[in-house]
Amino acid sequence: MKIQILAIGRHAEILQTVVRLINNNPEWNATGACTDDEAILAFSAQPYKLVLLGGGIEKESEDRLCTAFRALNPDIIIAQHYGGGSGLLAAEIYQALR
């Protein structure tokens, strides 16, 4: 069973790359969302183990998202993704899942 990861970012091209890098790991399956509404809709459609918040998400949106996600799944892991190469991304995910 693959670990479901929701990646949220404001820049579509960067988000596509992040999703592709996550999906390169055979144990992970990523879904990407650019807007708060897309993210909340995706989150309510299937169970996720981890949410990655990318750069450019305003504090107000981050608070709204975290509140919505925790209301649906109090055990959800939410981590920041700060950019950088695929090695850093994988390290962030492994650390968050620990």
pTM: 0.95
Q: What is the number of domains present in the chain?
A: 1
Q: What is the pLDDT of residue 69?
A: 98
d(CA 98, CA 93): 9
Decide if 47 is inside a domain.
yes
Q: What is the pLDDT of residue 72?
A: 97
Q: 23: domain range?
A: 3-93
Decide if 12 is inside a domain.
yes
Mean pLDDT of the residues in the chain: 94
**Residue scoring higher pLDDT (83 or 55):** 55
d(CA 19, CA 5): 9
Decide if 98 is inside a domain.
no
Cβ neighbours for 89, distance < 8 A, ≥ 6 positions apart: 18, 21, 22, 81
In this predicted structure, the answer to whether residue 60 has a pLDDT above a threshold of 90 is yes
CB atoms closer than 10 angstroms to residue 11:
13
Decide if 49 is inside a domain.
yes
Mean pLDDT, to the nearest integer, of 15-41?
Answer: 97
Decide if 60 is inside a domain.
yes
In this predicted structure, the answer to whether residue 83 has a pLDDT above a threshold of 90 is no
In this predicted structure, the answer to whether residue 85 has a pLDDT above a threshold of 90 is no
- For residue 28, what are its two tokens? 């992970």
Q: What is the CATH number of the domain that holds 12?
A: 3.40.50.2300
Distance of CA 84 to the CA centre of its chain: 15
In this predicted structure, the answer to whether residue 84 has a pLDDT above a threshold of 80 is no
Decide if 17 is inside a domain.
yes
